[in-house]
Structures are given as structure tokens and as C-alpha cells.
Structure 1
Amino acid sequence: MTRRRRGRSSTASAATDNDRSPKARTRHRYNTRSRTKRDAMLGGEQEGRKPMLSDEEHRNRIPTLKVVTEGKALSVKSIEKNLMINADAHFTTDYETENLVVRRGMPFDLTVTFDRNINEEGDTITLQFSVGARPQESKGTLVRLKLDVKNKTQVTSLRSQWSASVTSITADVLKVAVCPPANGIIGKYQLFVETHLTGNDEKGLCRYEWEDQDIVVIFNPWCSDDVVFMQDEKEREEYVLNERGRIWVGSSRSNTGRPWNYGQFDNPCLDAALHLLDKAELAEPARRGPISVVRAISALANSNDDNGVLEGRWTEKYPKSSTAPWAWTGSVKILEQFMATDKPVKYGQCWVFSGLVTTLLRALGIPTRSVTNFESAHDCDSTMTIDSHFDEDDEPIPELNDSVWNFHVWNESFFRRLDLPDGYDGWQAHDATPQELSEGVMRCGPAPLRAIKEGHVYLNYDIPFIFSEVNGDKVHWKRNKEGDTEVAYLDPHAVGKQISTKSVGSSYLNDITHQYKHPEGSLEERKVVEFVNRFSKIFTENIYKSETKPDIIFSVSLPSVNIGDDVTVSVTMKNDSSNTRTVQGRMSLLTSFYTGVPSKRLHGDKYTVKLAPGEEETKELTVTGKDYQTKLNPEACLQLYAVFNVIGTKQCFAATKDFTLLKPELQITVPEEMKVGQEYEGTVSFTNPLPINLTNGSFHLEGASILASDVHEFGKPIKPEETVTYTFKLKPRRFGQREIEATFSSDQLSGVDGSAEFEVKRNVQPMDTNA
């Protein structure tokens, strides 16, 4: 069935979607949710069940949703949204949308002009706001506010707690201040103005729909009654309004974050966030709180459920028709592609998922940041230990092993936890990268940081999994020839290193490891781990009872070298006993994916070391740049695998350590001074640091409100030490501090990035809408 054409009277004939204006068609498409899942689950005839109405049938049965144009009551000539005043008061000036965007818990002003002067004694004016495809007063999705035209006092809807006050009446012009409640439903609201002429019941009613506009209500970190309230002004500026970010990848030894364009105010980011809530079939009343919204976005950011935004892929090569994960420079281009096709965009990995979620949630007004955990564990079986298995020859058994990612990026959002006891408000960790199911869906969190730190794994949501990522003990199991398995080595300090996010007001790293766990090895940290193990799916007490003081102290040293240089790793052994000890073992160096999965073996050696009491010796393993340059994955990750056994005792040492070679930065030049609305040129340059040709090279560029996603592909190989340059166009749409983000990718080398920060000044010409 088709909806009646909006803006016509209730007697108008039904219209097809093609009869609507482009604006109306867009609103119809995104505001109407499919009920196919529910209908399919019910199936067939359902005489004994609640009647199932289509969205259109539901709306047609609500009298106040019908437009009435013929009558003697006031007729609306126009509605003014007072965009500049409202946007400035609600901190929504930068949203690039035709709709009025307001934050709940704050009043916004509307100006309504009628066809005649307002009679304060005889005219009744009601404002009606509806949200969703099936508005209903009892659900708070249909709000009616009968204005006090005569006394101009505030009126409040008892069901929804919306309020409105007439601020002035001048002849035919009405000015009114409307305030959504601080716990109101977020989403796109349709506005109706209903007028009634007292004593003229037959033709005394008119009902007008503001067809050309929606009023988008979002969360409000500036309102103390909103659960997302953030008191510190600088933090609001960083975690809600800042469009430029840094996401840490690679190695914890690097202090440089990867530039990322969140671009949450660019089109179509806000529309995309609201569309995903529709796609998740999240009922409008559930959109009052951030928990359900965060879980819906976490699920729909990946494509594993309901064809969400991004498809994940972790391979060495990618189809030419797709975009490799390391080529993305920001979220806007991803959302443009998704909204144009409503199909998953190819491809993403953890930092791309995280950057995307930051964009979507900041667009909705929830304070959010991207967070990187180095040496991040992936517990596959809910044991909350990270298990590695080796055979009798000290070779790993991959199919039995949990993985430790070189780094993993997720998100945190800031809000109060009304569903939990006091003490769990603040930052909540959540993750959209598809790893494990949460209530049957690929998503994770939100989990309070305090609950993770204190090991309160019995609370919602997914705290055990995140605890394992940052503080699980790594257990090395050895299987003998008969198939028996026993603990060979336990490393309580292997995972959760330098948990990092961008600092407030700068691009420097902020180490927040202390928010996730007590100091490594401290009494408090060990007590938490012991407590958590009570909830493990396996009984692990025997693991810790088997711990004895080691005779030999082992330590691993990893290099910090530029890509193309020789790589040397080492293991140092010190005899801490009063007897001479003999140590035997091996070291191997491999290429790997950043997820900890090994790829190609580069070089390995076996060692036998005899140590007198107190003696110390270091063994090194070196691989030249020439040895690894043709075997290296584009992300430039290497992995050290080391196993050593002390002869005559049961002591074993095992370590799997990943690290990333350092890459050069792109050189970006832009004009020192720019103004809104004018065109400029910039350049980006790259020099090949490897002694081999780079094939299928490309630049990807992006910049919030200044540069739509731009891709330049090189048709010829880039030779060793060759410098390539690309000139791009710039046209600022908004003033303020801006940034260009760029990446270089090729078949042999990827993830080379760079950025340029600059200021765009106001332009006195009318094209500057913020002036």
C-alpha cells in the first residue's frame, strides 16, 4: 500500500513514491521501517494474535496525522526555523543539513506566520510532533502541545514531558519556544500545526504539516539532566564537536597517531546514524537512552548482521574494485557509499570500525572516542585466560590457540549507567569489530571501565571479553607425545599495553591504561585476576598453584627501526639460581598480520646456553632488509616466536611478540591562509623507501568540510627512492581549524599517512552560512 501524499488534505487521492518531491521521498524511505523480520517470524494467518497493521494503515488510523486545509481557522503561511539562533544555542551550527538539529533538554524557537491576525480569545493553536513510522501518544512518539495563546504560560505534555511557551504574538506572527525533555526520544520529528476556531466546529479546524523540514532531536552533553552530560567544556569540545582525530595503530613504541577525519557534521553522517537505528529496528521508545543506541550502532557498523555499513576483511590482497582498510582516511566517504547503495562497503579493519563508530555517535550527540589497546588478547572461549598450545617439538598448534593482536582499536562513550548500581558512570567501552557474539549479534559492550578494572564480570555488557583483552593471563600449554597437556609457562603481563587515545586539545597520545587495570603485577591487580577466574568456564586454580620461582629470568628486546632497515631481536637470559643451568631453545622471526596470525617464516636459529650462577647472556637474531622486503605484508608487521627450556628443571619460557616497522610520513602542503568559499590547491608527496618497485600505488585524501574524498592512482610502478606528487583541489565550506588527512597504499607497502592542519577564516560573502 502507499502512503497518502504529504501536504494534501485527507480527501486527496493516494500517491506513488514517484509523485513525491525528492525531499519527501528521502524522508519516506528513512522514516519508514520494515517489519519484514517480525512478519516473517509470525507468518501465515494469526487470528489469535494481535492484529498486524502496516505502517501506513497505522498512520491512517491516527486522526491527528491527517492534513486538513479547508476551514475558517488560522491557516499557516510559513514556518521559520530560526536556524542561526537555534544552531548557535544548541551547538549544532556545523551540521550540513537542511533540517533543524536541536539537542534535547534545551528550548528551540519557531516562528509561525498565519493567513490572518491571531485572535487570542477565539483561536486555539496546537503544536504536534511525531517521530517514527508508527507514532502513538501513549508511547511518547506523538506529542501534542496545546499552546496557551492568551496567558502565554508554559504548557507541558504529561505523557512525553515536552513543553512549549508562547514568547510573543504580533498580528499574524506567533513566536514559540519548544523544549524536548532531557530524556526524550532522539530522531527525526515531523511538525504539525493544528488550529481551531472556537464556536465553529464544522469548519473550524485546520491541520498543517511542515513538509519541507524535519526537526532532528539528538543527545545533549551540555544538559545536566541528560545521561550523556559532560561537565568539562574542553572535553565536550574534544569528544562531541571535534571533527579531527588520531587513532593509534602499529606499535606501542610509536607516539604518532594515525590522522582520521570523523567529519560527523558532514552529510550524510547524521542521516546515516538515524538510518542505522531504523535498520536495526530499534523501537523509538528505546532511543531515549544511549545503551540501546550504542549497541545498535555497534552491531550495524559491521556487516555481519543485517548488512551493516562495513565488511571486515583480514587478508594480504584485496580486489581492485574495493578499498583496502589501510587506504581509508576518514568516515565520510564510507558513509556516502553506504547511503548511496544501502549495501556493505568493502573493506574495514578494527581502526576503521572504530573511526566510523566515533563519527556516528558524535553525530547523535554522544561523547565518544577511539581507543587503542596494544598487545590486545582475543579470548575465543570465555575462559578469561589467553591460551597457547605447543607440541613436543615446541611447535605451536594454531587451531587451539587464542590470539594476541599487535593492537586493537575500539570505542568508549561517556554516559551514566542507570541500569547498574551507583559507581559505574563515565566512560563505557564498546566494540564494533566482529569478534565474538553478544546476545546473538556481532557487537560488544558498553562495559563500564570501572567494572573492567575491578573485574566485575557479572555485570552487563561483555565485561569478561574486554577484561581478557586488557588483563587476561597468557598460559602456555605443552602437549606431549601421548597427548597429555600441562601448563608449561604462565605470563601474567603479556597483554594490555599502553591503552591509548587522543589527548584533549592536542594530537598527543593519552595513556589511559590505569583506567582499565591496576598497575601490572601489583597486589590489587593480582587480586582482581584471582577474583575473575572464579567466573571462568574452566577451573584455573591449579594453573596458579603450579607457579614456582624461576631459576632463569628471561627478557625480550624488540627493535624500533624504519622499514627497509635490518631488524635485530634478542632474548636475554640471567641465571638467578645458585647452580649452573643449561638452557636450550629457539627463536624465529616471521612476517605476520597485525592480528597476531603469522604469515611467512623469515629466519630462525636454535640455541644452547650454559649459565653459571648470576651469569647473564643475550642471544640475537637478525634479518636484513633484503631478506624480508619481498615477503613483508603491506602492513609491515613482524613477529618474534621464542621458546626456551631449562634442562633439568620444568621451567619453560615462551613468547610471541609482534611489532611494526616504522614508515615514512607523507608530505602535505597547503596555502597558509584560506577563506570560506574560495578554491585553492594543495600537494601531497611520497618517497619510496624500499629497494623494490611499488605497484598499484594510490593516494587517498579527505578533509571535513573542505575536501570530499579524493583518490589518485598511479598507472606506473614507483621506483626505489622515487618521489611522486599529486595536486588536489580545496574549497572550504566552514571556517575554523581544519585538517587534510591522506594515505598512500600499494601492493608492497600500505598505511603510510600524513596530515596538514590549518585555519580557514570567515568570508564576508553570503556563501559563508556561519558568518
Structure 2
Amino acid sequence: MSSYKRRPSPRPLVPRSSSPISTKIQTAKLSSREGTTGLSCLEASLVTRRGSPVVLEILFSSPITAGYTVTLSFIPVHGPRERSCTFRASGQDGKGLPGIWLSIELPARFPVGMYDAHISVTQENTPEILTHTLHNEVVVLFNPFLEEDEVYIEENVEEYVLSDTGVIWRGTRTKPEPLLWEYGQYEPHCLEVALLLLRKLKVDKRRSAFHVARAIISQILPPDSPESGILAVSYNGKYGGGTHPSKWTSSVPILQKYYRTRSPIKYGQCWTTAGIAVTLLRILGIPCRPVTCYDPAMSTKQLGRVNKYFTPEGNLIDSIKPSDDRIWAYHVWVECWMKREEVSTIGWNLIDCSTSNGPVSGIGPIPVKVLHDSSNKTYSNNDISRISSMIHSEVRYQRVVRSHATMSNQICTLAQIQTTQTGTRIVTSSISDRMEWTDITTEYREPNRQAVVSPTLQSPMPQSSDCSMTVHCSHVPVGQDLKITIMLQSNSPMLRTIDGRVLGAATHYTGHNRKTFVSLQFEGSIAPHNTGEIVLTVTSRQYLRHLKDQNFLHFFVIAKARETQQLFFDSQYYKLDPLPLTVRGPGTVKVGELVRYSISFHNPLSSSLSHISFILQAKGLCTQKEVAYRRLLLPERSAAADITVQGSVPGTYTVLASMCCDQLTDIHTSTTLIVTT
């Protein structure tokens, strides 16, 4: 893989004269004063945006004595060594000029990327040609401030392009949970990684935000070459030889390590890939934001359908291969803002790094407006089918009458079809307060809209009933008992008696590695045209030792009305609230000053915790630091670690602290630090 080592200067684009030259180009410099404050590249003297004026200053060894013509050519560093764009300017009387000062405006469709800048100067009445190649490359980015650029966004450019911190939403549909994330696009080597990912894209396609975004997401997790991507993912709880995904709170250490090693960093999950995509796209000037979809149908054999199987006794069957269908608790993708002339839209486009269609890595960009309007056939492809399946799948509850080793020999009867259990809520951070979420579900689907599936998957089974059931769980922190409330409503003029069962399982947010820890029976009666509720208790002793990443539990409820044999189903994720973590440190430090942070955690559980790690991450400090607490943390005891860092860049920053151990993950807190000169 190529590296940013200094290359010899390319040959001049025009031949030199063999005659002696009395005047030479002594120095030349490109500069720009617009739009890229804070972005830097190790080898580039200039980072600018297309459509912005670029100033060329040339100083000669002696004054030029006649009229002149200046030619400035940009030659791509990656890709064919051909002129991407050439500018010419002439002066009629150059007599006595020691130098030339020119202002050049890069076109709004200029290809983004890294360039060598080649200069040639010709004078009237002489065949002599003065040539010079700048020793430092020029980086050209998209310009979201320019109305003629396809990524122009009129409002909130500070939030969607310039902001280097933000929130990625996880949790569940009933309680979205914020994760503070440092995008860190101004940190060393992050811009270099973004430019590296453009090396395989043809120069002419770098004019298009669509092709650039596609090139970026296809190389974060390439399925055809897993050893060449930025990140390796693991969704099954096995993280040997790598970093636990819950330890990441920033794109910076991942991108910096990738820049050094040029091999995938282990391990990440969907929110990690989304955070990296936001960093790389914002670096290149494409407005973007992370978006979270709750209850997506991610793992299905057939698009548009999720099969859930249960035994006659009411036990949920986790996996009947080869149909191992799962609804995840949530999935994070990214929206980027751009103009799409082929579908006549300007707005948000969905891209998904961690979902693939066969050998093609990633999904999108897909205009969100097209996803909302299922009747739009202008942009019909496999990407849309995959996303629509996540959001609109029907859930089929099937009773297994006879079980065999293979799916082809299963004998099942269809018990019920539900069309509102997938894509239940889609959110992103609010502009006014990023720690608050905004519901954007209606941008993807119409309210109360039925599942969109292909004709072969249509299931015309009306579900008539005179009773209904909903399930709610109380939100409690890890270590406390939780309440499950089963709400029953009758529209019948007759008494109804309900018998049911609740299965509780500890699971990953993807539904992998389910471990059933409790089975609770219940029964109750509902008076005619009335409501009732049944409250069940799940104790911490029942679930605590089974917890997995992010403390997710999954509850499956099945019930039956004795009088009518009507079946009721509900299935939902529940996330225990994380335990509190404390971080203490000074509010203000000077550049170069050492600062000590103390991170502490109290164990309120009845069991000991092992292999504890404390982690600190913030811009303005050195890179992410991790300290291990090497003793068992007994019940009702506290553990603490001191981490010393150094203020490096002036500004106001969010300091992120987190704690991980074998039994608990996903414990975070934050504080504010001001670094002064």
C-alpha cells in the first residue's frame, strides 16, 4: 500500500529550452484564507475547498523584462499522473516585476483529493520556459459553504461538517441512550486516511460526492478483502486479540492506528463504523450525521419477513437453521447531505458501512426521500430493498408442530403476523441540544404504514380479535429487580381469561448468543370492555450473572385467551441502565501543562468484578489512555485510577471517561476541560 513519502518531482509538462535562462523561479507558494481552519496534512502546504480563491505567489531571481504567461497545473498524487485542471493568466507588461501575484478560483466541480502543483512561466520574445513544481502537495475538499457545490447545505454547517464531537444513539426504542463520540477530524493522520481511501477512485469520479461517499464506505468494511479494511467487526461477543468495542469512544485512535499499520483494527460494531464514516466524510467536506434505527430486521433469510418459531409449550426457538432470523435492538447508519441530479433530489442520503449486498460492501448513498416514497421506481435497486426490509418487515409467529434436524423438515403452522415490530423508531441528535434525540421516523415511513414486501411474501391473513396485549418494563440500573407489566384490554362483552408465559434472556444487542435465564407463568381475567394489568418481577439474582455487552435483556411474551383461543405475542429488548462512573480533574489547564484525572467506580452488586479497565479520551489531550485495575473489585467496594495527560491544543473540550470489566461494559461519563495558551 502506498505511503506519503516524498516523491521525486515529476518531469516538466513542457520541454525546457537548451538556451541559458537569465531569470529563474526562486520560490513559489499557494495559499488560501477560506474554509479549512484546523485541517492539516503532513505533506500538504495547502488544504482548501473547491470554489475558493487560491493565491499563487511567484518570486523570480531577477525581475522579468517582458509580458508573461503563467500556467498552473494540478496533477493527482493518486491515480494517473495527468493534468486534472490547468489555469492560465497573462500580463502584458512585466518589465521590472520581481514577482507575480495571482488569484485563481477552483471550479465548484473540481475533483477532490491530493495534488502536485506544477508551474510554468513563459515570456514574450523569448523561447525560454521557467518551470517549478511545488515541494508540498495541495489538498482540495468539497465546499459545503458554496451554493454551486453539490454538498452545499444552507443551515447547520457548523454541526454537520465542522463539529468534531457528537452523540451516537444506542439503547432501545423506549429509551434511546446517548454515547458521546469524538469524531476528531482535525487530529493528526485522519485527513491522510481519508485521502488514502480515494486512491482507487478515478480522478474524474472524485468530482461527485456520491462516488466519493461510496468509495469511503466500501473500504471501511470490504467483504471481498477483509484484511484491507479499516475495521474488523465482531457481533458474537468474541474479541480475542483486539479491543472490546465498548472501549471505543472516538474515531481518532482507530484511524491513527490504521494509518500506522495499514491493517484492520479489531474490533468494532455498527456504531463504531458509523462514527468512522462521519469522521472521514466531514474531513472531506460532506455534511453528515449518525442515525439510529430501533428494532431493524437485520438478519433475515428473506427480505421483508422475520420468522419467529415457538413450541406448543410456548418456548421461543432461538435458531432453526438455515433460517436464523433476528431483529436487532438497534442499528446505526449515516446520512450525508448532497444533491442527486439523477433523482432530482437535494437532501439527506442514507449510507450504511456495516450492511452489504453480496460482494458489494456497504449500502448507499440512497436518497431518504426515495425510501419514504415506495412508489418511486426511478431509484429501484437492491440497496433500497435491503433498507426497506430493515424498516418494514412483517414478523411471522409460527408454531413448530414437529421438529427435525433441518429446516426443510420442520412442520409449522402460522399463528400470527405483525407488521409494526420492525423499524419502530428512527432518531438522530437534536440541533438545539445534541444530548436530546429527534424522531425522524416519518422521513422514512408514513405513520401506521403496513409492511412493504414483494408480492411473493404477501400474507393476506386478517388478525381479528376482541382483546389486545402490550408489555412494558420498568427502567432500573444494573443490580436492581425490574418489573414487567402486561397490559390487557378487552373489547368483548364477555369475560376473558388470559394464560401466558414470559421468557427472559440475556443477549447482545444483535440478538446473538441468547441465554434464557427466567420463565414466568401468569394468568388473569379481564371484565367486559375493560382493561387490566399483570405485574411480574425479575430479580437481579436471576439475570445478573448472564449479562452480556451493553446489558441487554430480551423478553418474549406469549398468551392465550381460554374462551376464544386467541393468541397474543410481544417481543422486545430491554436495556438495564448503566451504573454511575465518576471523573474528577481541573476545569482549566495551559498548553503543555500536565493534568491528572481521577476515575472512580463503586460496585453496588452482590458479586465481584474482574479485569477492570479505566479509559480516558479527549481532544486537546494526548491520545486515548487506558489503565488496568489489577485486583478483584469486591461487592460494596470502590476502585479508582489516576490518569495523567497533557494539554496540547487550546480550546474547550469534552473529556470522555469509561470503565469496562468482564461482567459489565458500556459505563461512561464526561466532563469539560478548557485548554488555554
TM-score, length of structure 2 as denominator length = 0.90
Residues 1:731 and 2:652 aligned together: no
Q: Which residue is equivalent to 2:35? A: 90
Task: Answer whether contact 1:410 1:432 (CA < 8 A) is retained.
Answer: yes
Offset at residue 692 of structure 1 (A): 2.0
Of 221, 225, 240 in structure 2, the residue corresponding to residue 302 of structure 1 is 221
Cα deviation 1:716-735 (Å, max 9, x = unaligned):
22222333333333434433
Q: Deviations over 1:89-146 (max 9, x none)?
A: 223334464521101111122322221213342x432211111444466xxx432222
Cα shift at 1:467: 2.3
Tell me: CA distance 1:209–1:752, structure 2 relative to 1, closer, same or farther (3 Å): same
Structure 1 or 2: larger helix share?
A: 1
Match for residue 363 of structure 2?
444
Which residue among 29, 33, 52 is the counterpart of 1:80? 29
Contact 1:645 1:653 in 2 (8 A): yes
8 A Cα contact 1:69 1:206, kept in partner: no
Give the Å deviation of 1:436: 3.4
> What does 1:10-89 align with in structure 2 at a 5 Å threshold?
26-27=4-5, 64=13, 71-72=20-21, 74-82=23-31, 86-87=32-33, 89=34
Aligned to 2:335: 412
Rounded to whole Å, the distance in 2 between the matches of 1:505 and 1:737 is 19
Residue 433 of structure 2 is matched in structure 1 by: 506
Q: Once the 2 structures are TM-superposed, how far is the Cα of residue 447 of structure 1 from its aligned partner?
A: 1.7
Matches within 5 A, 1:226-375: 226-232=149-155, 235-254=156-175, 256-278=177-199, 281-306=200-225, 307-319=228-240, 321-375=241-295
Contact kept in structure 1, 2:55 and 2:101, CA below 8 Å: yes
Distance verdict in 2 for CA 1:687–1:251, change over 3 Å? farther
Q: Is the 8 A contact 1:497 1:513 kept in 2?
A: no
Q: 1:70 to 1:670 in 2, by over 3 A?
A: farther
Which residue number in structure 2 is paired with residue 173 of structure 1?
A: 99
CA distance in structure 2 between the aligned counterparts of 1:342 and 1:240, rounded to whole angstroms: 26
Q: Deviations over 1:165-196 (max 9, x none)?
A: xxxx9832222222221111100010111123
Q: What are the within-5 Å matches in structure 2 for residues 125-164 of structure 1?
A: 125-135=70-80, 141-150=83-92
Partner of 1:666: 581
Identity %: 25
Match for residue 207 of structure 1 among 131, 138, 163: 131
The separation in 2 between residues aligned to 1:150 and 1:733, in whole angstroms, is 50
| Distance in 2 between residues matched to 1:684 and 1:75, nearest whole Å | 62
After TM superposition, list the pairs within 5 Å mapping 1:690-701 onto structure 2.
Answer: 690-701=605-616
Q: 1:657 to 1:270 in 2, by over 3 A?
A: same
Q: Distance in 1 between matches of 2:18 and 2:297?
A: 63
Shift of 1:70: 8.7
Residues 1:498 and 1:574: Cα distance change in structure 2 (over 3 Å): same
Which deviations, in whole Å up to 9, do the C-alpha atoms of 1:593-637 show, x marking residues without a partner?
101235211110234445443354433432211222221114211
**Counterparts of 2:144 and 2:254 in 1: how far apart (Å)?**
26
| Secondary structure class of the residue paired with 1:700 | strand
1:455 and 2:374 matched: yes
Q: Which AA in structure 1 matches 2:75?
A: S
Is the counterpart of residue 622 in structure 1 residue 571 in structure 2? no
1:652 is aligned, of 567, 571, 577, to 567
CA separation of 1:413/1:71 partners in 2, compared to 1, >3 Å: closer, same or farther? farther
Find out whether 1:635 has 2:547 as its counterpart. Answer: no
The aligned residue for residue 456 of structure 2 is 538
Deviation per residue, 1:633-657 (Å, 9 max, x gap):
1421111011123346463222221
Q: Which has the higher strand share?
A: 2
Change (3 A) 1:171 1:682: farther
Comparing 350-359 with 128-137, which one deviates more in the overlay? 128-137
1:581 to 488, 492, 496: 496
Secondary structure in structure 2 of the residue aligned to 1:626? helix
Residues 382, 456 of structure 1: alpha-carbon distance in 2 compared, 3 angstrom cutoff: farther
Once the two structures are superposed, the pairs formed by residues 469-508 of structure 1 within 5 Å of their partners are 469-481=390-402, 483-508=410-435
Counterpart of 1:629 in 2: which secondary structure?
helix
**Quick one: distance in 2 between partners of 1:683 and 1:429?**
40
Measure, in 2, the Cα distance between the counterparts of 1:594 and 1:70. Answer: 74
Whole-angstrom CA distance in 1 between matches of 2:604 and 2:111: 53
How far is the alpha carbon of 1:385 from its aligned partner? 3.3
Partner of 1:712: 627
1:503, CA displacement in angstroms? 2.0
Aligned to 2:406: none
Helix, strand or coil for the counterpart of 1:727?
strand
Say if 1:109 and 1:133 are closer, same or farther in 2 by CA, change over 3 A.
Answer: same
Q: Secondary structure of 1:271's match?
A: helix
Q: Write the distance in 1 (CA, Å) between the matches of 2:500 and 2:413.
A: 19
- The equivalent residue for 2:443 is 516
Find the residue that maps to 2:341 and give its secondary structure: coil
User: Post-superposition shift, 1:309?
Assistant: 0.5
Alignment gaps of 5+ in structure 2:
403-408
Whether the 8 Å CA contact 1:634–1:746 is kept in 2: the answer is no
Q: Show CA shifts across 1:211-263 (max 9, x none).
A: 2x11100111000011100111xx10001010111111123444551111100
Tell me the CA shift for residue 456 of structure 1: 4.5
Q: What corresponds to 2:304 in structure 1?
A: 384
CA RMSD of aligned residues (A): 2.9
Kindly provide the CA deviation profile for residues 569-598 of structure 1, in whole angstroms up to 9, marking residues without a partner as x.
232223322234343332111101101235
Corresponding residue SS for 2:187: coil
Separation in 1, partners of 2:654, 2:357: 37
Asked if the contact 2:502/2:519 (under 8 Å) is kept, the reply is yes
Quick check: 2:487–2:534 contact (8 Å CA) kept in 1?
yes
Q: Which whole-Å CA distance do the structure 2 matches of 1:444 and 1:263 have between them?
A: 24
Which residue of 216, 222, 229 maps to 2:139? 216
> How has the CA–CA distance of structure 1 residues 457 and 701 changed in structure 2, closer, same or farther, with 3 Å as cutoff?
farther
Say whether the 8 Å CA contact 1:382–1:465 is kept in structure 2: no
Q: Is 2:478 the counterpart of 1:560?
A: no
Aligned: 1:186 with 2:112 = yes
Q: Which residue of 2 aligns with 1:52?
A: none
Q: Distance in 2 between matches of 1:674 and 1:132?
A: 40
Question: Is the contact made by 1:705 and 1:732 (CA closer than 8 Å) also made in structure 2?
Answer: yes
In 2, Cα distance between the equivalents of 1:386 and 1:176? 63
Which segments of 5 or more consecutive residues in structure 1 lack a partner in the other structure?
Answer: 1-16, 18-23, 30-55, 153-168, 764-771
- Report SS of the residue matched to 1:495: coil
**Quick one: structure 1 residues 384 and 325, their matched pair in 2 at CA, closer, same or farther if it must change by over 3 Å?**
same
Distance in 2 separating the partners of 1:480 and 1:151: 95
- What is the deviation of 1:443? 0.7
Give the distance between the partners of 2:665 and 2:262, measured in 1 at CA: 28
Judged with a 3 Å threshold, the aligned counterparts in structure 2 of structure 1 residues 134 and 74 are, in CA distance, closer, same or farther, namely farther
**Equivalent in 680, 696, 705 of residue 595 of structure 2:** 680
Q: CA deviation at 1:460?
A: 5.2
Matches within 5 A, 1:603-614: 603-614=518-529
Shift of 1:683: 2.8
Shift in CA distance, 673/610, structure 1 to aligned 2, threshold 3 Å = closer
What is the letter of the counterpart of residue 207 of structure 1?
A: T
Partner Cα distance (2:653, 2:337) in 1: 25
Distance (Å, rounded) in 1 between the aligned partners of 2:351 and 2:315:
35
